[in-house]
Amino acid sequence: MKSFSIKIRLLRVSSLLLGLSLGNISAWADETLTSITSPNQLLNVAVQAAGDGRLSYTVTRRGKTLIAPSRLGFLLTNAPQLDAGFKLEKQSLSEHDDTWEQPWGERHFVRNHYKELRLDVVQKPPFDRHLTIVFRVFDDGIGFRYEFPDQAQLHEVKISDELTEFVVAPAATAWWQQGGEVWALEYPIQKTALSEVGMANTPMTIRTADGTHIAFHEAALIDYPSMWLRKVTGQKLRAHLTPSATGPAVERQAPFNTPWRTLQIADNAAGLYMSDLILNLNEPNKLGDVSWVHPAKYIGVWWEMHLEKSTWGAGPKHGANTANVKRYIDFAAKQGFQGVLVEGWNQGWDGNWVGAEANFSFTKPYPDFDLPGLSAYAKEKGVNLIGHHETGGHIANYEAQMDAGYQLYASLGINSIKSGYVTDGGTAIFPSANGQHHFGYTDSQEGTRHYLKAVQEAARYHIAIDTHEPIKDTGLRRTYPNWLSREGARGMEYNAWGNPINSVEHEANLVFTRMLSGPMDYTPGILSLEGVKGRPINSTVAKQLASFVVIYSPVMMAADLIENYEKFPGAFQFIKDVPTDWADTRVLHGAVGEYATIARKDLHSNDWYVGAITDGKARTLDLALDFLDPDKTYVAEIYRDGKQADYRNAHRHDIIIEKKIVTAKQHLSLQLAPGGGQAIRLKQSGG
């Protein structure tokens, strides 16, 4: 203990020499080891040690404590717990500031500016086990991770759970979704007091009384289970690692790092969405030249099955028949869509295709689907077929055929695949070492391995992946830019099926929760505004259009039936015009679950696009056009809710389409109907 306190005193001196502040430590703290501030000095992280050498961290912003002392450490299954008796061996501080280019994304260039504190700690004898804890403090939040150095005392690391805590100091409201439950990532997002959270998935967003917003999540989830947040007591949350079906939650050999535990922190909801912290905590592109990855808009043989007009499986209503697919290819070519998704093309859809009975072939088409002929036909027309690999959650069956499936598509020039893992939480089927199978969570350590393996293998064939029922997004698109998009929340399909359909505030919830993690293949654009048997969905037409801007994905499906696009040509024009790859993004208005306005600049032209959405309330929002080039004029092509538009009544289709000449000095008044929205294309017209 003696050498420990001398070490602390020495560190305090060296901290002062390094220019580190000791921070504003609250009454709960034991012994402050060190602290670090963000580049703009607003955010501070302090690390404390209790008398028994237990480590904790505290986060303050503008002098107010946001995260009270929160424990760090692990429970192991093959060794005593790794949470106490620590002393600090060494600390080092560095600063990093660079700007990197995205191959595709919400903005072309991303600034990565943080201060980093590395703490090398060691446990007292007899354990003598080493651990490194790294904090990166940005202006818009923090990330920290544990690094396990290789050491004889802890080479095989078997973790039953993390002890990492997030003790939120000010009373807060939370927007969250259950973790570890049967529908995996597809629960409605609920709003409760933070103290009422049970077990949450991340990103989970909270708002404190003074309006500060914090989103809890993780970055760079590789070969490690996904983290759920379990409420312990009051506002204390603890990391809970997705269990493994066969042993400890984590089995790794040192050296390795955990994912980053992240807190994005901003003055308001808009600030949260503007944060690039998750991407910045991921490694740069490992694939080199990715010019073969193409952002695109697509249509497909999809909504008709969800509407029960046709079937995935064989029979008289089989959707993926050659004539029907040709119809989609022709429409895509005529209207300028780059892709046509075809689901139900391969054998395995007849009977129960979910779970243990799933027996998909990834190489055998149904006889009424001419795969080579249709891919050639599409190519002639300048359209790409988009492949589909539904696994039914039978990962073992998929892994056995994955390579052959990719090879087949690559040989036909099909360069993107939508994959799917429909199954209940905890019932995905993994291969066991003995050739048998076992059940487990898709977000377990073996699940994270599988999803990344699928993306890495696809990259070898220059194929991009859009995962449905995915592992949650943690920014790995930076490292593997062929991981183009994913689902990972309730998509449009719930509006087809019901039980229940998506709530009217769903999209405004998604923007400030799920979308903080990355792109979502939400499949908007249902201009009919109808699900199965004509059941109305909670939206106006203008809101459907606005979703193309607000819910970001580099691959964006215009999901409605061809006949509905033919029926509503005015609104359809916006869907044809809107791009999916952006030079810049600005969130202009936002309140979680209430409304959002996002402006994005096209990567390939000087045009801007604006999308605004609201929940069930009508709203008027003032849109300052000061993001436009001040020396130019623009034609604003406006798609706005008509006077009578209201998602609750027969006027939900009421839309006004008009043009105005505008400049950067002007403001537009966005009048959003209940459940409504507005979409605007701002076309640069001259100086």
Catalytic residues: 493
Sole binder of ligand NOJ in the list 218, 343, 507, 602 (CB under 6 A)? 343
**Cα–Cα distance, 6 to 74 (Å, whole number):** 26
22-81 residues in contact with ligand NOJ (CB under 6 A) are: none
At residue 419, the 3 state secondary structure works out as strand
Q: What is the DSSP string of 195-260?
A: GG--EE-SSEEEEETTS-EEEEEEE---SSPPEEEEEEETTEEEEEEPPPSSS-SEEEESSEEPPE
Contact assessment for residue 177 and residue 191, using Cβ atoms and an 8 Å cutoff: no
Q: Are strands 677-686 and 633-641 parallel, antiparallel or unpaired?
A: antiparallel
Whichever of 88 and 458 has its CB closer to ligand NOJ, that residue is 458
Strands 633-641 and 595-602: unpaired
Element (H, E) at 533: none
> Quick one: 235 or 502, whose CB is closer to ligand NOJ?
502
Q: Is 422 in the site for ligand NOJ (CB under 6 A)?
A: yes
Min CB(527)–ligand NOJ separation in Å: 19
Rounded Cα distance between 61 and 227, Å, is 25
The residues in 484-523 that bind ligand NOJ, with binding defined as CB under 6 A, are 487, 491, 493
Q: In angstroms, what is the minimal distance from the CB of 523 to ligand NOJ?
A: 7
Hey, what are 428's tokens? 């995905």
Nearer to ligand NOJ, 251 or 399 (CB): 399
Would you give the end-to-end CA distance of the chain in angstroms? 72
For residue 67, what are the CA distances in angstroms to 43, 80, 142, 205, 272? 11, 28, 11, 14, 17
In the stretch 449-468, what mask flags binding to ligand NOJ with x, by CB under 6 A? -------------------x
675: contact with ligand NOJ by CB under 6 A: no
Is 300 an interacting residue with respect to ligand NOJ (CB under 6 A)? Answer: no
Cβ nearer to ligand NOJ, comparing 50 with 422: 422
Judged by CB, which is closer to ligand NOJ: 73, or 313?
Answer: 313
Give the other-Cβ count within 10 Å of 315's Cβ.
11
Q: Centre a 10 Å sphere on the Cβ of residue 39 and count the other Cβ atoms it contains.
A: 15
Output the six-digit token pair for 502. Answer: 């998506």
* Shortest Å distance, C-beta 374 to ligand NOJ: 19
Question: In angstroms, what is the minimal distance from the CB of 307 to ligand NOJ?
Answer: 12
| Residue closer to ligand NOJ (CB basis): 302 or 568 | 302
Which of 390, 594, 646, 654 is in the footprint of ligand NOJ by CB under 6 A? 390
Count of residues interacting with ligand NOJ (CB under 6 A) = 9
Instruction: List C-alpha distances in Å: 586 to 40, 140, 270, 358, 646.
Output: 21, 15, 9, 44, 27
Cα(416)–Cα(514) distance, rounded to whole angstroms?
Answer: 23
Residue closer to ligand NOJ by CB (options 267, 530) is 530
Instruction: State the nearest-atom distance from the C-beta of 341 to ligand NOJ, in Å.
Output: 9
Assigned token pair, 322: 């050659």
Q: What SS3 class is residue 98?
A: strand
What is the smallest separation between the CB atom of 493 and ligand NOJ, expressed in angstroms? Answer: 6
Minimum Å distance from CB 358 to ligand NOJ? 11
Q: Where do contacts with ligand NOJ occur on this chain (CB under 6 A)?
A: 302, 343, 390, 420, 422, 468, 487, 491, 493
